[in-house]
Amino acid sequence: MKIMAGNSNLPLARAISAYLEMPLTDASVRRFADEEVFVEIHENVRGEDVFVVQSTSYPANDNLMELLICIDALRRASAKRITAVVPYFGYARQDRKPGPRTPISAKLVANLITQAGADRVLAVDLHAGQIQGFFDIPTDNLFAAPVMAADIQTRYGTQELMVVSPDVGGVVRARSLAKRLNNAPLAIVDKRRDRPGQSEVMNIIGDVKGRMCILIDDIIDSGGTLCNAAQALLDAGAAGVSAYITHGVLSGGAVARVSNSALKELVITDTIMPTEATAASDRIRVLTIAPLIGEAVRRIADESSVSSLFD
């Protein structure tokens, strides 16, 4: 088995390799003067089971091309099996046609990864479960919920908790976390999104008075939805509000928005490498999921059960 890393999230790749107690594959992933991506592998991978760690986060197109070219280089170097480890799968929010003459870009990206030569895919908290079906190769979707649940129990276990979904579409995810938190009660924020990036909180479904509310979602981008939801929960009588999000996209002024919001703290994972602004914020905390991904990689290599990680 070998672990290879692109440039999108080298700290996470190094943490995974440390967990597995094996060095990263010696390879160069660099740019020509015109920004073309060039990949060169400096050691023999013939007949090896190779895992390529690369999130397709910002800049999404550059990181996606790095992933595709890494896979192609490994295929032409006669690797036995290539697994694309994509902690954050970009384009996942384009998983259906929201209107006429629009693409389903998540399916296009799945086709690109498959055609490049990947034999299987390992991702974390895909935005929509059906994206697994977009791939014609085996796809494992890991869940960050166990890591988050352990952290919540440590920090807020003595308080009366309530898990809150920021929208109706995230109820399944919220219910899964609530079950891990000793069947904590569940609330839902009913909101209307007039256009992408802007939302208006309409109603809180559930009694949150006096409870420590834990907002749970898979992606935070502009931060508007979460910040509005946090204020609405406090207005409804919540004792406090914290948010646990798997993928901290945090584009534009999201970090400043979170820092000035009613949120007690925002907890994200390192599926996306934190920016300097994110790391400097005293309101944002990062959990590592390197052990979770590392253990999944080990089990895939050993042909043992991955789903038992979540039992």
- Report the binding-site residues for ATP: 34-36, 93-94
**Beta carbons of 208 and 185 less than 8 angstroms apart:** no
Residue ranges of the annotated binding site for D-ribose 5-phosphate are 193, 217, 221-225
Alpha-carbon torsion (144, 170, 230, 198), positive or negative: positive
d(CA 204, CA 31): 49
For the four alpha carbons of 145, 149, 150 and 154, in that order, the dihedral sign comes to positive
Q: Whole-angstrom Cα distance, residue 37 to residue 52?
A: 16
Residue 198 CA to chain centroid, in angstroms? 21
Closest to 161 measured CA to CA, from 170, 148, 142: 148
Euclidean distance between CA atoms 46 and 52, whole angstroms: 15
In sequence order, what are the residues at sequence separation of 6 or more whose Cβ sits closer than 8 angstroms to the Cβ of residue 137? 114, 118, 119, 120, 121
Residue 143 CB-density burial (10 A; 0-12 exposed, 13-18 middle, 19+ buried):
buried
Tokens of 256: 């400043």
97, 191, 209, 264: the catalytic one is 191
Residues annotated within the binding site are 34-36, 93-94, 127, 167, 193, 217, 221-225
How many angstroms separate the Cα of 233 from the Cα of each of 93, 167, 209, 221, 240? 26, 13, 9, 20, 8
Annotated binding site for Mg(2+): 127, 167
Residue entry with tokens 């993928």: 247
Asked if residues 283 and 253 have their Cβ atoms less than 8 Å apart, the reply is no
Q: How far apart are CA 290 and CA 295, in angstroms?
A: 8
E strand or H helix that includes residue 52: strand 49-53
Cα–Cα distance, 137 to 131 (Å, whole number): 12
Is position 191 annotated as part of the catalytic site? Answer: yes
Residues with catalytic roles: 191
